[in-house]
A and B are shown apart, each in its own frame.
Chain A
């Protein structure tokens, strides 16, 4: 199982249906909206970390560093996202986030939940702050949802692969064998009995 960031990124893109993946048209649209979206930076960053610091589970993880450092990381991502390009380097960065999250104990529910918050905040801001027409806002949200899906797929897959590869390397059990153990163990599990 490949765990190098470039390989993970390629694998994820091959698995994502093209219709669900961030497109060149999406990129052009985001770059065009970039100046307006850039003005939302403070609002997004402030809201994002207010939520994380207000929730005990996420605040515990964030407590090791200064808030300003955390905020700067999000600012860098937002600016890079609005400036483009959405090239291999950008997507590999999103995959690398998975590895960072394993190290920092950031869980996938935390990551996916905050992606949802970002999308909701942007939807509201597109209409109320940037005053886009409804159909323009809808088209922008389509692009942002595909961006979110692509980035989340990369981060989650990278998270899982690095977890498995670390387990494999530390125990000497190959990832093929781990997958076999999982298949054997789950073959007799009745999902309806787990609900």
Chain B
């Protein structure tokens, strides 16, 4: 199975488990989108920004002695985006409407990020 196909399967399973998610993407740490399920918006831009948040998050963790970066989030009035480290090579970003079940999102997205990391490690 091709990388993008395998990643899309992981993203699809996650979105089925959390119907409140409106979009999800996997990008390289250099900001290149590998797989995504965006109905609207610019995947290139969102992937680059997710990777930027990942890089900044890693540096912040290093600076305060927080260890390896795991995740960060950005919340707006109408929606939120959660960004997870998916191993050394990738980042997972998920978008949800405001008021979505954050606990469920974290539960499923952390598992998905782990799967992405393992999958890319095998490659």
Contacts and interface: CB of A to CB of B under 8 A. Distances in A.
Interface of A: 170-174, 176-177, 180-181, 184-185
B104 interface: no
Contacts of A184: 31, 42, 44-45, 48
25 contacts: A170-B59, A171-B52, A171-B55, A172-B56, A172-B58, A172-B59, A172-B62, A173-B51, A173-B55, A174-B29, A174-B55, A176-B30, A176-B31, A177-B30, A177-B51, A180-B30, A180-B31, A180-B48, A181-B31, A181-B48, A181-B49, A181-B52, A184-B31, A184-B44, A184-B45
B contact patch SS: helix
Given A174-B29, A181-B48, 8 more contacts: A171-B55, A172-B58, A173-B52, A177-B29, A177-B51, A180-B48, A181-B31, A184-B48
B117 interface: no
Nearest to B51: A177
Contacts of A172: 55-60, 62
B119 interface: no
Interface in B19-65: 29-32, 42, 44-45, 48-49, 51-52, 55-60, 62
Contacts of B44: 184
Nearest to B56: A171
Contacts of B58: 172
A181 B44 CA distance: 9
Contacts, number: 42
A181 B55 CA distance: 13
Contacts of A170: 59
Contacts of B55: 171-174, 177
The list of the 9 closest CB pairs from A to B, nearest first, reads A172-B59, A172-B55, A173-B55, A180-B31, A176-B30, A177-B31, A172-B58, A177-B30, A181-B48
B59 A177 contact: no
Nearest to B45: A184
Contacts of B60: 172
B121 to A, nearest CB: 20
A174 B56 CA distance: 10
A173 B56 contact: yes
A180 B33 CA distance: 11
A151 to B, nearest CB: 33
Nearest to A169: B59
Contacts of A174: 29-30, 55
Contacts of A181: 31, 48-49, 52
A62 to B, nearest CB: 35
